[in-house]
Amino acid sequence: MMKKDMKWAMNHLPKSDDKNLPIMSLNEISKARTFHQSFPQYSETPLTQLTQMARYLGLGSIFVKDESYRFGLNAFKVLGGSYSMAKYIAKETHRDVSDLPYEVLTSDKLRQEFGQATFFTATDGNHGRGVAWAAQKLGQKAVVHMPKGTTQTRLENIKKLGADVDILDLNYDDCVRQAAKEAAATPHGVMVQDTAWDGYEEIPSWIMQGYGTMAMEAGEQLKAQGVERPTHIFVQAGVGSLAGAVVGYFANLYKDNPPKFIVVEASAAACLYKGAAAGDGKPRIVGGDLDTIMAGLACGEPNTISWDILKNHVTTFVAADDPITVRGMRMLAAPLKGDAPIVSGESGAVPFGTLATIMLSDECKDIRAELGLDDRSQVLVFSTEGDTDPERYKNIVWRGLNK
């Protein structure tokens, strides 16, 4: 028997008019994908089929979208940062983003026309690294604030890309407020954050569209492997931008027959789960230190655009404790003979860890039945980062520690 270490809430939230779903329309995501394909660093990240693991867990098939290969940055986040910057520059120069492929965006001519902006952001690591990378490539400035508890490795990764970066004695959500304040006080300062709040929605919606590239690739890769549509999609959430992007894209792609969507958060920062458990449709906020090894998911205030998409389309919200992601990291690193290993970091492995727990734990038979997970299920799982903190990864996977 496997310990459960998680709570879940089936989605009984009141539905809205779904006005945000068109943000993730197939047409919009196709534009984002074309933009990313213009980068010399672009290549599709692998979709790995775990055939033996599926058999062991009692599932039809498992496919893992492995973002550890994205642009050499070991995580998916750069997709959102780069696309939102391009959309911002397009708007400022009265162009369509389709007219700004990589070679135009990085040209001296455009730089002279647009000038120099300073892009501000708060990050637990991967998003800030993506923003810093994109700013460096586009000849722009980046200022990045990181919350307390951030490891030095994550800070150094961002510093190497030329950004001004620091670790503040604040939690993630307070770092977001600090970055927004500084952006507002800086000439040509721009806030690039993947969380939306009332009055700050345009740039987060562009970031979500950027994440859509990953979802679009996964849908095409599944088709190429003979899967017309997955029956279940497991995706993680911090503020919910990634989850909203993935759920929004696939809800549009398979609109007549959508898969079941399972959104997984870290228990210490489970704002979406708490909103679902409350059941009134209003978002919930989690404060405090948000203490979890899943640094990229330690966000307590939901993205308002995403929350709207998620409450209309998600099947189940899960709050997972750290042992769930530790289990996912270890199982992906050493799967069954015949399956390729996957390097998945603390925020990357929690959807797979959740799937494995649901399938193997006696305490999960109710949710297993409610979700209809069985030997006919074709499951898509997102691993959003590799070993972005290599020392911590080795501690957990090699040395048997839990953090």
Q: What are the catalytic residues? A: 77, 124
Closest CA to 98 of 34, 27, 39, 41: 34
Question: What are the distances in angstroms from CA 196 to CA 185, 242, 350, 372?
Answer: 19, 12, 24, 33
Q: State how far the Cα of 309 lies from the Cα of 314, in Å rounded to an integer.
A: 8
Residues belonging to the chain? 403
Question: Rg for the chain (alpha carbons), in Å?
Answer: 20
Taking a C-beta distance cutoff of 8 angstroms, is the pair 211, 309 a contact?
Answer: no
Taking a C-beta distance cutoff of 8 angstroms, is the pair 45, 214 a contact?
Answer: yes
